[in-house]
């Protein structure tokens, strides 16, 4: 039985498939050119890329948005969270999210995630009509970018997106 990599490399090597290979994105063509790492011949040879995962959750009752960044790899990563400045200055609160917690007002925040750890940021979105627009990037992987944008539904009357029709300002 042939592996997927061997199949794709075989397809890449055949003269008839040159056109098909050209349809792959450059990153895939580059990956196919790299010999596979094979130490044990098992799934243990697959190494996790060093990049965070991010998710957002809502606190509709308080009008807040929580962003959690997680690092499942062993190395340290530094995700940077930037807010679209069209929404104005936001105050990020780091855990435990209690009154008097450390607040960092602005439009850019950095989290330092050691291996196998997670950190959160929390913003009250009452000043933006519950709209948000963030981009998360990572120092360990220049291609890593997540855009998190939308409106948190609170059940209360709100405003149209304050940034609608305007050019982003990150």
Per-residue pLDDT tens digits for 65-82: 999 999 988 888 999 999
Mean pLDDT for all residues in the chain: 81
pLDDT value of residue 155:
85
pLDDT value of residue 52:
86
The two structure tokens encoding residue 34: 């790299």
b/e burial code for range 83-98 (CB count within 10 A of at least 16 → b): bbbbbeebebbeeeee
Write the DSSP assignment of 8-73 as a string of letters: HHHHHHSGGGHHHHHTS-HHHHHHHHSPPP-SSSSGGG----S--EEEEEEETTTTEEEEEEEE-S
pLDDT value of residue 95:
64
With residue 23 as reference, give the H or E element that holds it: none
Banded pLDDT at 1 (limits 50, 70, 90): very low
Per-residue pLDDT tens digits for 66-122: 999 999 888 889 999 999 988 888 888 866 555 555 667 788 999 999 989 999 999
Mean pLDDT for the stretch of residues 9-27: 67
């Amino acid at each position: 039985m042939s592996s997927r990599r061997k199949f794709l490399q075989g397809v890449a090597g055949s003269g008839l498939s040159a056109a098909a290979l050209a349809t792959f994105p450059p990153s895939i063509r580059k990956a196919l050119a790299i010999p596979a790492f094979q130490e044990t011949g098992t799934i243990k040879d697959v190494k996790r890329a060093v990049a965070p995962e991010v998710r957002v959750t809502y606190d509709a009752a308080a009008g807040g948005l929580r962003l959690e960044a997680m690092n499942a790899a062993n190395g340290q990563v530094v995700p940077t969270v930037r807010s679209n400045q069209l929404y104005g200055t936001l105050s990020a609160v780091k855990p435990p999210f209690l009154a008097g917690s450390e607040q960092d007002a602005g439009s850019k925040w950095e989290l330092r995630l050691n291996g196998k750890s997670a950190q959160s940021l929390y913003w009250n979105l009452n000043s933006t009509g519950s709209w948000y627009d963030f981009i998360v990037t990572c120092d360990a992987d220049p291609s890593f970018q997540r855009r998190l944008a939308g409106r948190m539904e609170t059940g209360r009357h709100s405003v149209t997106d304050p940034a609608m029709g305007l050019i982003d300002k990150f």
